[in-house]
Amino acid sequence: MPGAYTGPLEKVGPCQWKIPRSYREDMRVDGLIFADDTLIEQIRRDQGPEQVANVATLPGIQRASLAMPDIHWGYGFAIGGVAATDPEQGGVISPGGVGYDINCGVRLLRSDLSWDDARPHIKRLVDQLYRDIPTGVGQSGRYSFRPDELSELMSKGSSYVVDRGWGAPRDLEFTEAGGRLDDARPDLVSPRAFARGADQCGTLGSGNHFLEVQVVDRVIDDQAAGVMGLREGMVTLLIHSGSRGLGYQVCDDHLAMFRDAPQKYGFTLPDRQLACAPVLSPEGQSYLGAMRAAANYAWCNRQLLTHQARLVFERIFGESWAALGLDLVYDVAHNIAKFEDHDVGDDLRKSLCVHRKGATRAFPPGHPEIPRKYHEIGQPVIIPGSMGTASWVLAGQAGSMAQSFGSSCHGAGRMMSRTAAIKLADGRRIDKELDAMGIIARARGHKGLAEEQPAAYKDVDQVVEVVDSVGISKKVARLRPVGVIKG
């Protein structure tokens, strides 16, 4: 990772740190980072805050360039970054504000199984999940789609695979945006991206992607947990994956297309990785159409991963997944750009292009875009930790709309590069260490586990405490891992 940030950070609230607009002449708005006193010292160690300042230079940016407490250095935008731009004011769209893994996200499934029920079968369950669910770099899956089928899949999103019997209609209701962004344009997705996506839908991938069997070890909010169907001692399943090679290629293709856009449209950027174009330009519209197609592909990917996992549970426990109560609590994206209505001051409400790059939507109670079941408690916000630490379920709160364009953190956040993590793991067996903690881990090699070891990440409990304390999202339940499969 790059060197430490040395610019200004002014404490302006209990967990709020401002990078003032006066820091650099090219900044159009302030930067604002949500973090406590301990986390901000970790955040200073790389150039993530400087990237927050860089994003503050984007044309049309509104209110502030934001970062969640899990912020760390990334491509263009910091991971954990949020920015909203106004198309009517020349606001831009930036692939670096979405990320290479378009619509990387998480989904949580609950079950009627207790840990006492599952404990005798956990090793067999994890081993079977690892055998049946394709993991790793470039891995193909059991589902292959012709170009015409793939085009339809990218247009329709999750409903395309659910209609084929690989899920239930209820899954669509509890997926962000119903598992489909409108106005997707598969015709703007390159042949190379089509080729990469043909047989990767329903595969986990590598890096920090995972499928985790967990147990609810603590309920903080009884009402919200009850609405979500969660209780202490319950077995749950968390799936983390995205758009695989197809999404990566869409990002790469459009970064090349955007290279000359700043000069063409008359603005300058402090970092070429911030490559962007006006939302309403031909380049901006091309990226949006292709990005939406890749996002729909990612929702199909997580739906097919869900279907395969349910089949494994049926095989191990001898009952249908419906009888086991293996229902979707929610699926939420954390690498995406979407148009949403937000207040911009002076009692003015506008449709903005909200970039969330390593940030989770956290809409409050009563918001029209969340399932009716959750209207009283707010949208479920799912925050994975690392393999050896807890994950959290939260609920979006009104403070998110006032402070963060309806956004929350998306995970613990790295505080160590993958190279440094591998070096730290030299001579150790991370799988054995996890086993001693009561966590069964399966991966394609020791390197993947070394990169994702718990020491490489911030303290997820501390990260979640920040967003809870500032009223962005409130803690509902804590989940501990008992089995994990990774690429």
For the range 22-27, what are the long-range contacts, defined as Cβ-Cβ under 8 Å and sequence gap of 24 or more?
A: 23/53, 24/53, 24/57, 24/270, 26/57, 26/268, 26/270, 27/53, 27/56, 27/57
Q: Is 228 annotated as a binding residue?
A: no
**Residue 271 to residue 260: CA distance in whole angstroms:** 13
Q: Is 375 annotated as a binding residue?
A: no
User: What single letter denotes the amino acid at residue 375?
Assistant: H
**Residue 97 to residue 255: CA distance in whole angstroms:** 11
Q: What is the largest CA-CA distance in the chain?
A: 65
Q: Is 384 annotated as a binding residue?
A: yes
Q: Is 387 annotated as a binding residue?
A: yes
Q: Is 54 annotated as a binding residue?
A: no
Q: Is 211 annotated as a binding residue?
A: yes
Q: Any alpha helices (H) in 78-211, and if so which ranges?
A: 115-118, 122-132, 147-156, 158-162, 169-173, 191-197
**Residue 48 to residue 42: CA distance in whole angstroms:** 10
Phi-psi region of 80 (alpha: psi -120 to 50; beta: other; left: phi over 0): left
CA 202 to chain CA mean position, Å:
17
Q: Is 121 annotated as a binding residue?
A: no
Is position 410 annotated as part of the catalytic site?
yes
**Residue 193 to residue 371: CA distance in whole angstroms:** 32
Q: Is 412 annotated as a binding residue?
A: yes
- Token pair recorded at residue 235: 């077995």
Among candidate residues 121, 307, 410, 446, the one labeled active-site is 410
CB atoms within 10 A of CB 137: 11
Q: Is 210 annotated as a binding residue?
A: yes
Q: Is 391 annotated as a binding residue?
A: yes
CA nearest neighbour of 184 among 29, 337, 21: 337
Q: Any alpha helices (H) in 318-408, and if so which ranges?
A: 398-403
Q: What separation in angstroms does the CA of 146 have from each of 68, 91, 134, 194, 462?
A: 40, 37, 20, 9, 46
Q: Is 25 annotated as a binding residue?
A: no
CA nearest neighbour of 101 among 248, 236, 235: 248
Q: Is 144 annotated as a binding residue?
A: no
109 contacts: CB under 8 Å, gap ≥ 6: 236, 237, 238, 239, 306, 309, 326, 327, 328, 329
Annotated binding-site ranges: 101, 208-212, 240, 334-335, 384-387, 391, 410-413, 486
Annotated binding-site ranges for Mn(2+): 101, 209, 240, 334
Catalytic positions are 410
Annotated binding-site ranges for GMP: 208-212, 334-335, 384-387, 391, 410-413, 486
